[in-house]
């Protein structure tokens, strides 16, 4: 099931974190945006037909591998395809990886930091994905499970195809930003189809371009009642009204979630000063 939930009180959002320990999150600046990878977005904008995306992904990755060693002191081995994709993603190149985080609050920051309208946090039940992609041996460690995901992802990349679906995975070696932001990637199995089509394959909903029309609209109370039960949604979108954002930015800063902590260095500190232009008045967050 795919659910849409409007958050009308900041305190409700804060309370959700402990209720969703097995979920992963992605913040987006508009609740009208679908989920889309940089590879899909670039290919669509460039007019490339989907049946060519798979070959073009491998060609882009190979060109990056041929040159990156000139600028990277410790490049991954050629066989470590996920690490190569992560490196390409980190430096702004087009990949099929989509950034998520294990922290609801980090995702909230990315949702509201630059939003000019209602923002959204997309949530995916990671435990459900585990049950779809593998039968885990008893007492398997999280690290061992992730290595199996890495092997599966690299097999899909090198093999050139798979049925639609998604996998959550993290490279063995995290860069500084990914480690600080509790980052994890969501990997669409079939790169020749949109991310939303791959996402729809793991739910019972047709989550497509008209995703708002297919969502089960739940109140906050309804959502919290079904969490961690068999009736829980697999994918949820939390809608954050624009009038909640200013207060949220200041509250996140008090939790040490702001650009200074998420982007170490002078650039992160300079970016954090934008908060000084936001009015923090609590009066603006009364439920409407």
Residue 283 has what pLDDT? Answer: 43
Coil/strand/helix, residue 154 = helix
Q: Which two tokens stand for residue 62?
A: 């190979």
Residue 266: pLDDT band (50, 70, 90) is very high
For residue 161, is pLDDT > 70? no
Neighbours of 69 (CB within 10 A): 12
- Of 16-30, 35-49, 183-197, 206-220, which range is least confident? 206-220
What is the predicted pLDDT for the residue at 22? 92
- Residue 262 pLDDT > 90, yes or no? yes
Mean pLDDT of 40-51: 96
**Model pLDDT, residue 209:** 45
Q: Output the pLDDT for position 284.
A: 47
- Higher-confidence residue: 16 or 213? 16
Strand partners, 27: 121
pLDDT (tens digit per residue) in 56-88: 999 999 999 999 888 888 888 889 999 999 999
Report pLDDT for 173. 86
Please give the average per-residue pLDDT across 3-28, as a whole number: 96
Q: What is the mean pLDDT of the chain?
A: 89
Q: What is the pLDDT of residue 231?
A: 87
Q: Which stretches of 23-143 are assigned E, i.e. beta strand?
A: 23-28, 98-101, 119-125
pLDDT in tens, 171-216: 988 888 899 999 999 999 999 999 999 999 888 655 544 444 456 8
Domain ranges of the chain: 2-285
- The pLDDT of residue 205: 55
pLDDT band at 280 (very low <50, low <70, confident <90, very high): confident
């Amino acid at each position: 099931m795919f659910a849409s939930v409007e958050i009308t009180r900041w305190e409700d959002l804060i309370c959700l974190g402990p209720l969703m320990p097995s979920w992963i999150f992605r913040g987006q600046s508009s609740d009208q945006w679908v989920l889309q990878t940089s590879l899909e977005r670039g290919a669509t904008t460039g007019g490339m037909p989907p049946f060519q995306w798979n070959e073009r992904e491998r060609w882009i990755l190979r060109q990056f591998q041929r040159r990156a060693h000139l600028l990277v002191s410790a490049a991954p081995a050629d066989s470590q395809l996920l690490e190569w994709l992560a490196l390409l993603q980190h430096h702004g190149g087009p990949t099929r990886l989509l950034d998520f985080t294990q922290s609801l609050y980090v995702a909230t920051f990315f949702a509201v930091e630059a939003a000019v309208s209602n923002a959204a946090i997309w949530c995916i039940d990671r435990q459900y994905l585990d049950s779809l992609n593998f039968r885990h041996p008893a007492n398997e460690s999280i690290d061992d499970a992730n290595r199996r995901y890495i092997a599966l992802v690299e097999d899909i990349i090198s093999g050139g195809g798979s049925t639609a679906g998604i996998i959550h995975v993290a490279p063995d070696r995290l860069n500084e930003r990914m480690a600080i932001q509790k980052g994890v990637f969501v990997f669409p199995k079939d790169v020749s189809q949109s991310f939303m089509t791959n996402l729809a394959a793991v739910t019972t909903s047709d989550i497509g371009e008209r995703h708002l029309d297919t969502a089960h609209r739940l109140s906050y109370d309804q959502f919290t009642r079904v969490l961690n039960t068999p009736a829980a949604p697999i994918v949820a979108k939390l809608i954050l009204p624009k009038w909640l954002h200013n207060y949220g930015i200041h509250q996140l800063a008090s939790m040490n979630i702001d650009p200074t902590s998420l982007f170490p260095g002078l650039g992160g500190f300079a970016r954090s000063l934008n908060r000084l232009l936001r009015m923090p008045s609590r009066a603006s967050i009364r439920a409407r």
